[in-house]
Amino acid sequence: MTQITLIQATLQDIITLQIIGKETFYETFAPHNTEESMNEYLEKNFTEEKLGKELTHPDSQFFIAWENDQAIGYLKVNSGNAQTELQDDQALEIERIYVKAAYHGKKVGQILYEKALDIAKEQHKSWLWLGVWEENKKAIRFYEKNGFTAFDKHIFRMGEEEQTDIMMRKTLE
């Protein structure tokens, strides 16, 4: 595998984010959800308008993982009031780490996670947190390996179905 490069996304990257976001979300969750629910979620959550608002929010950052000229994954982190739930000034939320299925097991997720960790340290945050679907055992193991522990649960709606996310956190030194 060639070297992976992380580049912070700007509005000029909105189409790339839209494509990689839809593709990786679909790869991750389509086997466990109806086609109707998946299409509804993708159409609602990956519009240029919604991504544009997220990209320009001062407390959110996106990074795209590139292998040569191929976008292979991305990271979204939130601080302050951009956090989806807790909005703790001492915390950084990892809202999304998604990697194309063909790159699973090739350390791309780890590179993206380490970028989030670096940002948390640069911003002098006390802890990182995230939500991960309780059925995504692979992701849960990844976060546990990186020192996260479960501390709560919340509901994620996918179409008409309620799914449980495990909220996990990692305290930083």
What positions carry a catalytic annotation? 143
**CB neighbours (10 Å) of residue 98?**
22
Which residues, listed in sequence order, are joined to residue 170 by a DSSP beta bridge? 128
**CA–CA–CA angle 121, 122, 124 (5° rounding):** 60
Q: Give the H/E segment covering residue 105.
A: none
Alpha-carbon torsion 124, 130, 79, 90, what sign?
A: negative
CA 170 to chain centre: 16
Residues 165 and 86: their CA atoms lie apart, in Å, by 14
Query: Which among 92, 71, 74, 75 is positioned nearest to 83, based on CA atoms?
Result: 92
Q: Give the H/E segment covering residue 120.
A: helix 108-122
